[in-house]
Amino acid sequence: GENVEQHPSTLSVQEGDSAVIKCTYSDSASNYFPWYKQELGKRPQLIIDIRSNVGEKKDQRIAVTLNKTAKHFSLHITETQPEDSAVYFCAASKTGANNLFFGTGTRLTIIP
Amino acid sequence: EADIYQTPRYLVIGTGKKITLECSQTMGHDKMYWYQQDPGMELHLIHYSYGVNSTEKGDLSSESTVSRIRTEHFPLTLESARPSHTSQYLCASSEPLSRGYTFGSGTRLTVV
């Protein structure tokens, strides 16, 4: 089955700086890669996703890049703000799969 | 509003009690999931369902059981709660999987 690894497990960034979270996956057939943000005491929410037919996707201050050859994808947050503090999960799945395979999460703390 | 709802939000019960955690969604999704989330962060899949009368065990061994008699309802039952069951339980649904999951707000269970 698919195995998704996520690094780092914790990340502290000065407000205004950029943050990068990286994930690798094992199944070369995986073709859908969502990212979830979970604020303290709240539910995980989808913030951005990418499919294997594109290499990069942006939405305001967040972007995701995908390298299919190396089987890794990354979340980039620019101009970080205190409200970016949360736990972030990457995930992967493929056509016909029954569920998403999640990474172990990254706790991002933005230092004012 | 179409969403996924979990009750109760918080629950404190004694060892040996039987409990049912409720999960309902109004989006007409076929796929539904239960995850156990460690205090640290990691999401562990414990049960999932493709549709009515379909249930499967997930990656994490669990002493809980689930049922799917109606599309919108996916309750999780613990026949005899133990302190090791103390955790947060998140319900999710999707349709199709390539649009990711919608998570419920979770039930935080404490067994004393």
B39–A contact, CB cutoff 8 A: no
**Given a cut of 90, is residue B81 above it in pLDDT?**
yes
pLDDT computed for residue B95 by the predictor: 78
Report the distance separating Cα B69 and Cα A107, nearest Å.
37
Task: Collect the ranges in chain A with pLDDT lower than 70.
Answer: none
B-interface mutation test, from A2, A3, A11, A43, most B Cβ less than 10 A away: A43
Residue B35 has a CB neighbour count (10 Å cut-off) of 26
pLDDT computed for residue A97 by the predictor: 83
Q: How many Cα atoms occupy the beta-carbon half-sphere of A78 within 13 Å?
A: 7
A104–B contact, CB cutoff 8 A: yes
pLDDT-derived band at B100 (thresholds 50, 70, 90) equals confident
Q: Do A87 and B41 touch (CB under 8 A)?
A: yes
Share above pLDDT 90 across residues of chain B, in percent, rounded to a whole number: 83
pLDDT-derived band at B1 (thresholds 50, 70, 90) equals confident
Q: Burial code of A14-26, b = ≥16 C-beta within 10 A, e = fewer?
A: eeeeebbbbbbbe
pLDDT computed for residue B12 by the predictor: 97
pLDDT computed for residue B93 by the predictor: 96
pLDDT-derived band at B20 (thresholds 50, 70, 90) equals very high
From the list A95, A98, A100, the residue facing B101 with the nearest CB is: A100
**Given a cut of 70, is residue B97 above it in pLDDT?**
no
B97–A contact, CB cutoff 8 A: yes
Q: Do B103 and A87 touch (CB under 8 A)?
A: no
Cβ-contact A48, A64 below 8 angstroms = yes
**Given a cut of 70, is residue B3 above it in pLDDT?**
yes
**Given a cut of 80, is residue B62 above it in pLDDT?**
no
A94–B contact, CB cutoff 8 A: no
A57–B contact, CB cutoff 8 A: no
Nearest chain A Cα distance for residue B42, angstroms: 5
B50–A contact, CB cutoff 8 A: yes
From the list A45, A98, A105, the residue facing B42 with the nearest CB is: A105
Q: Do A98 and B97 touch (CB under 8 A)?
A: yes
Mean pLDDT, chain B, integer: 92
pLDDT computed for residue A60 by the predictor: 96
B58–A contact, CB cutoff 8 A: yes
User: Token match 């103390």: residue?
Assistant: B86
pLDDT-derived band at B38 (thresholds 50, 70, 90) equals confident
* 3 state SS of B22: strand
pLDDT-derived band at B40 (thresholds 50, 70, 90) equals low
Q: Do B31 and A98 touch (CB under 8 A)?
A: yes
